[in-house]
Each structure stands twice: as structure tokens, then as C-alpha cells.
Amino acid sequence: MRATPRLCVALASLALAGGAAITSAPAGATPGGGGCSLSGTAKFAGGPNMTAPHAFTYTFTGTLSNCQSTMGTPVSATIATLVPAKGGGGCPSSSTSGVALVTWADRSTTIISYTTQDIGAAVTLNGKVLPSYKVRKKVYRTTRGKDYNPYGYLVFGASPVECAGAGVTTATIAGVAGLQRNS
């Protein structure tokens, strides 16, 4: 399947509409939690392309804004991978896993271990909140959302030229992300 610009736009529109329309919790979640608008940039090493599925790594930095919740979450935060995330696949379809640190406006923190699955531009994110995570000698600790699981309905905005060529070097990531109470 060749990801044409028209297909990418159609999938992105579908993902945005689906993410905006989905208000129910992921399977296994109980009521409680919240969601935010996510916007950021992924930077790839050996990024996905259309040629052949392969392994790649990336870092991500972004913001969470317009957050609304039942748990008193601040209305904004920053988010970044703590170590390069790992992935495999190509532009038409890939999966990734990583660990990210959310730093809320009140300086509380949430560490999430996540996986993503995508088809074209539509990306789903699932994971769990970690109590702590060590990077070299520094230990990061979760101070908000310990009993919650992360979720996301996102759009991967890669350049069709990079997808058709040597591989994606940077891509925008946008959509809805949040935390839902564990069941």
C-alpha cells in the first residue's frame, strides 16, 4: 500500500475526528481521569519509510494543553521521552514503545511507559504509569496519577517526501491524550 498525500490527509482527518468523538475510556478502565490536547515533535534516527519495515529510534518533546479531568489535574504540562523510544515498521504501519516524563504546571510529575500502534497517520497510544524510572544516576518519580493508565488518539504528521525517500527525520504528533483510572 502506497501512502499518497491524499491518503495521509484522509487518515489524519479520520484520526482527528475519531479522537475528538471518543469520550469513553479504553477497555478495562473505570470512570475517572481526564484528557488534554497533545502537540509535539518526534525526531527520528533511521526513521520509517516506504521501502522496507525496519527498526528505528526517536525522541519526543511536546505540550499538553486544555487539560480537563476529574482528578484536579493542572490545565497544562510538558512531555518528553526520557530515553530514545524504539520502534519498528514503516510509514504505512509501525509500532513503538518508550518511557516519557510528564511535568505538570504545578511541577508534579507522571512517568508513563507506553506503546503505540499506527496505520498511516492514525496512532493509538496505551500504557501504564510507572512509580519511578532511572536514567543513568537520576531517578524520576511519579507524584501524580499513580492509579491511572495513559491513552492517546494521535495523528502522525510525516513528510510524504521523507516517507518515500531515506526515512522520516522529524514529524509532528498531535491529538488527544490523557489518563484513565485503572480498573
**pLDDT (tens digit per residue) in 61-89:** 999 999 998 877 789 999 999 999 999 99
State the greatest distance between any 2 C-alpha atoms of the chain, in Å, as a whole number: 47
Burial category of 84 from C-beta neighbours within 10 Å (exposed 0-12, middle 13-18, buried 19 and up): middle
Q: Does pLDDT of 27 surpass 70?
A: no
Classify residue 80 by its DSSP letter.
Answer: E
How many residues make up the chain in this entry? 183
The confidence score (pLDDT) of residue 19 equals: 38
The CA distance from 69 to 179, in Å, is 9
> Which cell numbers in the block locate residue 68?
480537563
Burial 10-47 (b: 16+ CB within 10 A, else e): ebbeebbeebeeeeebbeebeeebbbbbbbbebbbeeb
pTM listed for this prediction: 0.82
CA angle 66, 71, 72 (to 5 degrees): 60
Q: Which SS3 state, helix, strand or coil, does residue 128 take?
A: strand
What integer pLDDT is reported at residue 137 of this predicted model? 96
Q: Are 40 and 60 in contact (CB under 8 A)?
A: yes
- 79's CB contacts (< 8 A; 6+ apart) are 38, 40, 60, 61, 62, 63, 64, 100, 101, 102, 103
pLDDT in tens, 1-19: 334 333 333 333 333 333 3
Q: Which pLDDT tens digit goes with each residue over 108-134?
A: 999 999 999 998 899 999 999 999 999
